């Protein structure tokens, strides 16, 4: 077992221990708080909040992935080629929108709660996945495609057997980016009353309880780092076969 | 050579745009009227939102644009028709606000609605598509940005939009708007400057020392992964003792500790792109060039400043572009911990369910990020032009 | 037999291939040679309809290729390109199995075929079947590329600069291997190259193209002795012409009765090789042996030199 995977394991165990039995860590946070204030978040279960947080991110990412990959495939086919330049510019422009703006604009349209958060995560999550799908599909070696055509693969066979597998590591990198952005945006989602770990931080800010803020921050941060790491692992497995991609995937 | 496409033929994107225009004109409300700032809105179709002659003129122009979008292929023509569309649409929104607001009523609010947004979306799509197909050079793009910005400034200064709800929102808090604007820019640009001062030398050092590079990159990429609000939170504890109390977003009643943790967090976020791009930029300097410089007797310092850095500049600038756009967006979140900036309006607006207030914070942010990305993209291109790779 | 009948390709107003006709006999290797941009690749790609002809047709054993669905046609025609286009995400065995899978052969048959081909191309199945393309050397990749094209026993093999990416030493070995495999399988091959040496080395017949047109279609010896025009003459190389001619002629053709000292040369080797040996050893003649090793006569410098010029 390498040092990094050991660190990974320890981080995971710590996180799991903390969200299931936060009271056990109270002694660490007591020095930070005013006398009499609670040292550990007491307005809900950290475990439940974590799961709700993850559920929102997960659902939004699945939805973004399906749509973004489908769109990416569409604009790289001859029938959708007319939309390619526009869609590239739109992705560039879209990424100049801060996620919080998307979240804020969604509230008046659909009200408070999970919905605006989901919409913001979904819309904003589309961008990196779509962009990477485009990159992945357009950088497929023209030689491999020529060979595929020459061997009599039809358009669907080329897409499924050649283009998508070759683009997969890049698409996965897009999904990973999207998940990480979503984890952060979902945290801010608590300002519009979405259930999630942002609640802990907001509660801490409202009651001026640094311990809460720190707990929320730590859980979200650890979660993000672990997920980022885990998805990176998946990417590397996918890229391993394609030796030439190994260096390109960060 | 691919044979040129006929100038008149059916265009799929144009078809989508035409459908959007059709929906916007006939099936979607153009503006929303509210009796008070937070009352629920009443929808007004184009024909109800404008005097008949204006409504007819707008509809005719929009249909003309739709027709052009379907039939015309020439990007210049498409851009022209999109610009004409916008030139008619944007002022008519202001006229509509004046028309719908009863005289001497200071409480009523008129804001753009789905139809307006769809129309401006359609026209902008057409313009963006045309611009993308024209493949403008850096100066062309800067010029297009300047024209757009001037037109926007003209609309705002002329007073034609003054009856719109968002400008009424602005009117009642003009002072704090500019204060938050300054704070926003200070956070975004200040942390960028700090990150450059610290990050570029760190990048140069990392380029030379492999061990340093691995350590720096790994820790910075972990920092990048941590969501902004969590990082703010984590920084509050260590910085907490120092901070003075500042009243926070009223609706949330949050009391926080100001701009320091926000600034520091933005600085940390900014480091990775700056350091990584400095290293990447230096890495792609051809070894032969550095060798030649050495052969001519240039000192290490002269090589770095005279040869390597200029050649790495486009990549470093690309890193600065990433950071600036990212910072302008993240700075909105700073308001949550009392850091100020346009986010203050966003969070207040969320608290009061006042969309106009949300937009007052969100739209300038988006405009700033957009402008910054266009300008820096152009700079990146220009720096590539002077240093052929 | 492959009949190429007045094939023409136009892009806009430019003619890229103009009215090209020739026939390729079954079991022969035809080389299409010409400078870059002559239209060779386009001609080749019209045979498997990767490019649709503007006019003209291609018949394979009398069957017009336009009557066969595109993909089906390509399943029946092997195709090798410069750089090979191996699928980087599939291992060697899966790469070779591509067309048999498209044709839904059963697994056992595919496995057998893959093994057979790996053997044929001197790639040990145990070692190579599960390697990925990026783990192979250039020469190995090239062999996998050809093996993949041959997998479904195509009626015709098209090769577009198949050796272009190899360095000189490996290239000449790969060329010899191709000849051996072609003889062994009796395959029909159309190969495109810009390299005249390669054309002479490989071709049973050579088609010379320039600026979209077919200038001459002939055997290598005819090309040397009766070039159709100045361009062909320059292309075959006036300086190397005698040596090319000697390379094409087996020792047997210059056999004379008599005795000579030294190590015998095989009757099937070329006069070029014989001359080279004579020059190096400083002799006037060499003994000639037949395939069983028995001496059947001798070959002399004077006689060889007579073969290095066109017949009157
Ligand atoms: N799809 C195409 N569109 C326009 N011109 C083409 C196309 N494909 C090839 N050409 C032109 O046709 C000519 C012949 O090309 P090609 O057949 O590839 O030549 P070769 O293989 O002999 O080098 C070249 O000038 C090339 O530019
Ligand atoms: Mg070619």
Cα separation, B210 vs B75, in Å, equals 49
> What is the Cβ-side half-sphere exposure of residue C22, based on CA atoms within 13 angstroms?
22
Q: Which pTM does this prediction carry?
A: 0.84
Cα separation, B178 vs B340, in Å, equals 11
For residue C312, being part of any structural domain is answered with no
Q: What is the pLDDT of residue C141?
A: 95
Cα separation, C253 vs C21, in Å, equals 33
Q: What is the pLDDT of residues A146-194, one digit of tens each?
A: 999 999 999 999 999 999 999 999 999 999 999 998 998 899 888 888 8
Distance from CA of B3 to the nearest CA of C (A): 6
Take residue C65 and report the two structure tokens written for it. Answer: 């290729």
* CA-to-CA separations, B152 to B91, B110, B255, B258, B367, in angstroms, rounded: 10, 19, 36, 33, 11
- Residue B252, pLDDT > 60, answer no
Indicate yes or no: CB of A243 within 8 angstroms of CB of C85: no
Q: What is the pLDDT of residue B9?
A: 58
Mean pLDDT on C28-40: 95
For residue C226, being part of any structural domain is answered with yes
Q: What is the pLDDT of residue A227?
A: 93
Percent of chain A with pLDDT over 90: 45
Cα separation, A213 vs C151, in Å, equals 65
**Atom 26 of ligand 1: nearest residue by CA position:** C37
Number of domains in chain C: 2
Determine the distance separating the centroid of ligand 2 and the alpha carbon of C39, expressed in angstroms: 7
**Atom 12 of ligand 1: nearest residue by CA position:** C16
C277 inside 8 A of chain A by CB: no
Q: Indicate the average pLDDT of chain B.
A: 85
Q: Any idea what the CATH number is for the domain that residue C302 is in? A: 3.90.1280.20
Q: What is the pLDDT of residues C237-246, one digit of tens each?
A: 777 778 888 8
Percent of chain B with pLDDT over 90: 41
Does C164 share its domain with C123?
yes
User: Which of C51, C92, C98 to probe the A interface (max A CBs under 10 A)?
Assistant: C98
Confidence band, pLDDT 50/70/90 cuts, at residue A48: very high
- Residue B146, pLDDT > 60, answer yes
Select from C210, C238, C266 the last residue of a domain. C238
Mean pLDDT on C200-228: 92
Residue B346's CB: how many other CB atoms inside 10 A? Answer: 30
Cα separation, A25 vs A162, in Å, equals 51
DSSP codes joined into one string, A110-146: H-SSHHHHHHHHHHHHHHHHHHHHHHHHHTS-HHHHH
Which has the minimum average pLDDT: A13-22, A108-117, A161-170, B373-382?
A: A108-117
Contact, C27 vs C188, CB < 8 A? Answer: yes
Q: Any idea what the CATH number is for the domain that residue C134 is in? A: 3.40.50.300
Q: What is the pLDDT of residue C28?
A: 96
For residue C257, being part of any structural domain is answered with yes
Does C267 share its domain with C223?
no
SS3 of residue C284 by DSSP: coil
Q: What is the pLDDT of residues C57-75, one digit of tens each?
A: 999 999 999 999 999 999 9
How many residues would you count in chain B?
389
Confidence band, pLDDT 50/70/90 cuts, at residue B247: very low
Indicate yes or no: CB of C79 within 8 angstroms of CB of A143: no
Q: Where do the structural domains in chain A lie, given as residue ranges?
A: 46-241
Q: What is the pLDDT of residue A41?
A: 87
Take residue B182 and report the two structure tokens written for it. Answer: 């300054």
SS3 of residue B183 by DSSP: helix
Percent of chain C with pLDDT over 70: 99
Residues 6+ apart with CB under 8 A from A115: A106
Does C150 share its domain with C6?
yes
Distance from CA of C147 to the nearest CA of A (A): 13
Mean pLDDT on C18-27: 95
Does C232 share its domain with C250?
no
Select from C213, C238, C263 the last residue of a domain. C238
Mean pLDDT on C276-283: 87
Select from C222, C238, C254 the last residue of a domain. C238
For residue C112, being part of any structural domain is answered with yes
Supply the Cα-derived Rg of chain A in whole angstroms.
21
Nearest ligand, CA C211: 1
Does C65 share its domain with C99?
yes
B3 contacts in C (CB within 8 Å)?
A: 11-12
Q: Give the chains touching B; criterion: ≥3 Cβ pairs < 8 Å.
A: A, C
Does C131 share its domain with C229?
yes
Q: What is the pLDDT of residue A243?
A: 59
* CA-to-CA separations, C38 to A143, B138, C163, C204, C264, in angstroms, rounded: 21, 38, 19, 21, 44
> What is the Cβ-side half-sphere exposure of residue B164, based on CA atoms within 13 angstroms?
25
Does C153 share its domain with C282?
no
Q: Which domain holds residue C289?
A: 245-307
Q: Indicate the average pLDDT of chain A.
A: 87
Does C178 share its domain with C119?
yes
- Residue B71, pLDDT > 90, answer no
Could you say which of A89, A187, A225 has the minimum Cβ distance to residue B229?
A: A187
Q: What is the pLDDT of residue B7?
A: 44
Which residues form ligand 1's pocket by a CB distance below 6 Å?
B 1; C 11, 16, 34, 36-42
> What is the helix (H) or strand (E) element at residue B306, kind and residue range?
none
Pocket test for ligand 1, best of C37, C161, C214 (most atoms within 8 A of CB): C37
| Sole residue written with tokens 């939009």 | B161
User: CA nearest A144 in C: which residue?
Assistant: C85
B353 contacts in A (CB within 8 Å)?
A: 107-108, 112
Determine the distance separating the centroid of ligand 1 and the alpha carbon of B1, expressed in angstroms: 9
Q: What is the pLDDT of residue B5?
A: 47
> What is the helix (H) or strand (E) element at residue B82, kind and residue range?
helix B75-100
Q: What is the pLDDT of residue C311?
A: 64
Residue C84 CA to its chain's centroid (Å): 16
SS3 of residue A241 by DSSP: coil
- Residue A247, pLDDT > 70, answer no
- Residue B305, pLDDT > 50, answer yes
Confidence band, pLDDT 50/70/90 cuts, at residue B248: very low
Mean pLDDT on A14-20: 91
Does C86 share its domain with C53?
yes
Torsion-angle region of B352 (φ positive above 0: left; ψ -120 to 50: alpha; else: beta): alpha
- Residue B244, pLDDT > 90, answer no
Distance from CA of B4 to the nearest CA of C (A): 9
Residue B294's CB: how many other CB atoms inside 10 A? Answer: 14
Range of B280-294, B348-362, C101-115 with top mean pLDDT: C101-115
For residue C183, being part of any structural domain is answered with yes
Confidence band, pLDDT 50/70/90 cuts, at residue B256: very low
Residues 6+ apart with CB under 8 A from A76: A84, A134, A137, A138
List of domains in chain B: 12-135 (no CATH), 174-384 (1.10.3720.10)
Does C205 share its domain with C271?
no
Cα separation, A48 vs C160, in Å, equals 62
Does C123 share its domain with C143?
yes
* CA-to-CA separations, C237 to A173, C18, C197, C221, in angstroms, rounded: 54, 25, 10, 13
Which has the minimum average pLDDT: A25-34, A56-65, C250-259?
A: A25-34
Q: What is the pLDDT of residue C267?
A: 86
Take residue C166 and report the two structure tokens written for it. Answer: 């190899």
Does C271 share its domain with C144?
no
Topology of domain A46-241 in CATH is MetI-like fold (1.10.3720)
DSSP codes joined into one string, B20-75: HHHHHHHTS-SEEEESSTTSPPEEE-HHHHS-HHHHHHHHHHHHHHHHHHHHB--H
Cα separation, C35 vs C13, in Å, equals 21
Distance from CA of B2 to the nearest CA of C (A): 7
Cα separation, C182 vs B250, in Å, equals 84
């Amino acid at each position: 077992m390498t040092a990094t995977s050991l660190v990974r394991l320890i981080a995971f165990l710590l996180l799991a221990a903390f969200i299931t039995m936060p009271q056990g860590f109270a002694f660490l946070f007591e020095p930070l708080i005013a006398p009499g204030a609670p040292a550990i978040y007491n307005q809900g279960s950290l475990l439940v909040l974590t799961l709700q947080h993850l559920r929102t991110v997960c659902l939004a990412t699945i939805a973004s992935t399906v749509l973004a990959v489908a769109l990416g495939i569409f604009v790289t086919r001859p029938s959708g080629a007319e939309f390619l330049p526009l869609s590239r510019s739109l992705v560039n422009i879209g990424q100049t929108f801060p996620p919080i703006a998307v979240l804020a604009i969604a509230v008046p349209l659909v009200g408070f709660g999970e919905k605006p958060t989901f919409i913001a995560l979904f819309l904003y999550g589309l961008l990196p996945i779509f962009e990477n799908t485009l990159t992945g599909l357009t950088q497929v070696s023209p030689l491999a495609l020529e060979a595929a055509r020459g061997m009599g693969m039809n358009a669907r066979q080329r897409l499924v057997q050649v283009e998508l597998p070759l683009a997969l590591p890049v698409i996965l990198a897009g999904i990973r980016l999207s998940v990480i952005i979503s984890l952060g945006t979902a945290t801010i989602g608590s300002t519009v009353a979405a259930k999630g770990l942002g609640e802990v931080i907001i509660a801490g800010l409202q009651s001026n309880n640094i311990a809460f803020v720190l707990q929320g921050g730590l859980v979200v941060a650890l979660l993000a780092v672990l997920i980022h790491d885990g998805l990176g692992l998946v990417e590397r497995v996918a890229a391993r076969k394609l030796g030439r991609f190994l260096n390109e995937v960060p | 050579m691919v044979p040129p496409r006929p100038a008149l033929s059916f265009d799929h994107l144009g078809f989508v745009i035409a459908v959007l225009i059709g929906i916007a004109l006939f099936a979607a409300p153009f503006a929303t009227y509210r009796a008070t700032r937070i009352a629920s809105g009443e929808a007004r179709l184009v024909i109800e939102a404008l005097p008949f002659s204006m409504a007819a003129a707008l509809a005719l122009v929009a249909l003309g644009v739709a027709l052009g979008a379907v039939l015309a292929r020439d990007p210049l023509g498409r851009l022209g028709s999109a610009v004409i569309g916008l030139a008619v649409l944007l002022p008519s929104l202001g006229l509509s606000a004046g028309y719908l607001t009863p005289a001497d009523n200071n409480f009523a609010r008129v804001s753009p609605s789905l139809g307006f947004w769809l129309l401006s979306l359609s026209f902008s799509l057409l313009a963006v598509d045309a611009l993308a197909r024209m493949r403008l050079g850096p100066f062309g793009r800067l010029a297009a940005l300047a024209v757009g910005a001037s037109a926007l400034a003209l609309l705002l200064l002329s007073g034609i939009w003054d009856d719109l709800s968002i400008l009424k929102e602005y009117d009642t808090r003009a002072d704090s708007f500019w204060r938050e604007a300054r704070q926003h820019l200070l956070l975004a640009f200040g942390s960028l400057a700090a990150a450059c001062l610290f990050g570029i030398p760190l990048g140069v050092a990392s380029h030379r020392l492999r061990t340093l590079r691995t350590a720096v990159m790994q820790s910075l990429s972990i920092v990048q992964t941590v969501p902004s609000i969590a990082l703010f939170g984590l920084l509050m504890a260590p910085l907490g003792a120092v901070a003075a109390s500042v009243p926070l977003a009223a609706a949330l009643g949050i009391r926080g500790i100001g701009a320091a943790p926000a600034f520091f967090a933005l600085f940390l976020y900014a480091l990775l792109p700056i350091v990584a791009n400095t290293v990447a930029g230096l890495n792609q300097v051809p070894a032969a060039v550095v060798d030649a410089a050495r052969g001519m007797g240039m000192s290490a310092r002269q090589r770095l400043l005279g040869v390597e850095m200029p050649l790495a500049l486009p990549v470093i600038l690309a890193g600065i572009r990433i950071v600036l756009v990212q910072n302008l967006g993240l700075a909105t979140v700073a308001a949550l911990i009392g850091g100020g900036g346009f986010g203050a309006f966003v969070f207040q607006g969320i608290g009061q369910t006042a969309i106009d207030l949300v937009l007052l914070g969100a739209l300038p942010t988006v405009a700033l990020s957009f402008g910054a990305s266009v300008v820096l993209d152009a700079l990146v291109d220009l720096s590539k032009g002077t240093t052929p790779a | 037999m492959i009949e190429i009948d007045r094939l023409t390709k136009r892009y806009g107003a430019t003619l890229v291939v103009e009215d090209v006709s020739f026939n390729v006999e079954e079991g022969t290797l035809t080389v299409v040679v010409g400078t870059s941009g002559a239209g060779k690749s386009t001609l080749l790609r019209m045979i498997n309809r990767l490019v649709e002809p503007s006019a003209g047709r291609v018949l394979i054993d009398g069957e017009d290729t336009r009557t066969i669905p595109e993909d089906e046609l390509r399943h029946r025609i092997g195709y090798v390109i410069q750089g090979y286009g191996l699928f980087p995400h599939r291992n060697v065995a899966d790469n070779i199995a591509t067309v048999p899978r498209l044709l839904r052969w059963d697994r056992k048959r595919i496995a057998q075929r893959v093994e057979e081909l790996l053997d044929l191309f001197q790639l040990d199945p145990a070692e190579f079947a599960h390697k990925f393309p990026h783990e192979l050397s250039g020469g190995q990749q090239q062999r996998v590329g050809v093996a993949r094209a041959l997998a479904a026993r195509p009626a015709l093999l098209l090769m577009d600069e198949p050796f272009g990416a190899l360095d000189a030493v490996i290239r000449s070995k790969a060329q010899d291997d191709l000849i051996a495999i072609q003889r062994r399988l009796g395959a029909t091959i159309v190969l495109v190259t810009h390299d005249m040496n390669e054309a002479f080395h490989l071709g049973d017949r050579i088609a010379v193209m320039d600026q979209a047109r077919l200038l001459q279609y002939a055997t290598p010896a005819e090309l040397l002795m009766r070039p159709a025009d100045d361009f062909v003459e320059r292309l075959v190389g006036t300086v190397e012409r005698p040596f090319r001619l000697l390379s094409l002629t087996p020792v047997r053709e210059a056999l004379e009765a008599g005795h000579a000292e030294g190590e015998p040369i095989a009757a099937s080797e070329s006069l070029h090789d014989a001359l080279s040996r004579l020059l190096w050893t400083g002799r006037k003649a060499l003994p000639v042996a037949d395939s069983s090793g028995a001496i059947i006569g001798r070959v002399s410098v004077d006689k060889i030199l007579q073969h290095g010029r066109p017949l009157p």
